[in-house]
Structure 1
């Protein structure tokens, strides 16, 4: 199974048991990612951090994109980050379901992007259910917010600090709370 086939497998939104061949593809990359995260989080240089993140994500991060360590991810290869993106300290991305961050996005400190969940049934609970997250251009994710699997945050939208977002956020909208609810439109 190739990495592309594995990504397609994780995009189905089905329970993927720990015995699925996709995990044999993922686990060596997880080990490599964990080693690189250690280097990243001991780096004191933004350019070096960008270079290490480029290795983790398997794509060259644009020089206009800044990520402040510490930063964690469990995999990295299913994350795509656009230009002029700022990701503040202490963020965590669980990306087996795929994370896309478009251009000009601001992500506050301690934000969690979580594309992975587990089934409720105890018999299958060690499996994964994954769904992608999309953060559209010019969005702003406030400090300590959590974005859950399958969520799209719309263009020019704002997620208030501390929110838990379990449903799509329309374009030009401010949401907040637990669970996040509509607060107002962005002019």
Structure 2
């Protein structure tokens, strides 16, 4: 019975959530997301076009901005996002992928942790088993395959350290435009 209920919840989030996330009402979208996700912190904005799988394993902290067309996968373990995290458009975060070295096309799973004050730019892909340290910045179009240390700027395919972030990280995000 529990397995059947989990299957129904999975189908709802995978097939119906994209329709719900097109509703231009922030209040309606967030009310539904609060039922589907493990946690959404105060003053967090999730824009239209958001998609997820296995939302019961996805936690989003306070004062986060999750822009349009972001995809999050919680099937392979917990996906934890800290406070004051800015995730730009079209970012994909995966906790499960196929193992290219497995003869039977098996799965490779790993939790993803994104710590406080991280800025992930547009079209970044984050693969399973990765931790992105506090205050790190991930450049546009990067593919994150390994842990990223705190307060660095990383970019490329695969993402490598290309700079250092030198501010005090005192800001608090809050961005909620109309009809987004």
Range of TM-score over shorter length: 0.7 to 0.9
Task: Specify the alignment match of 1:9 in structure 2.
Answer: none
Task: Specify the alignment match of 1:14 in structure 2.
Answer: none
Superposition deviation, residue 129 in structure 1: 2.1
Between Structure 1 and Structure 2, the one with more helix by share is: 1
- Does the 8 Å CA contact 2:145/2:158 hold for their aligned counterparts? yes
Unaligned runs of 5+ in 1: 3-22
- Does the 8 Å CA contact 1:36/1:56 hold for their aligned counterparts? no
Say if 1:112 and 1:28 are closer, same or farther in 2 by CA, change over 3 A. same
Task: Specify the alignment match of 1:114 in structure 2.
Answer: 94
- Does the 8 Å CA contact 1:134/1:152 hold for their aligned counterparts? yes
CA distance in structure 1 between the partners assigned to 2:16 and 2:65 by the alignment: 20
Task: Specify the alignment match of 1:139 in structure 2.
Answer: 118
Task: Specify the alignment match of 1:55 in structure 2.
Answer: 35
CA distance in structure 1 between the partners assigned to 2:55 and 2:94 by the alignment: 12
TM-score by length of 2: 0.83
**Deviation >4 Å, runs of 4+:** 23-26
Task: Specify the alignment match of 1:92 in structure 2.
Answer: 71
TM-score by length of 1: 0.81
Aligned length: 165
Unaligned runs of 5+ in 2: 167-180
CA distance in structure 2 between the partners assigned to 1:179 and 1:86 by the alignment: 25
Root-mean-square deviation (CA, aligned residues, Å) is 2.1
- Does the 8 Å CA contact 2:73/2:93 hold for their aligned counterparts? yes
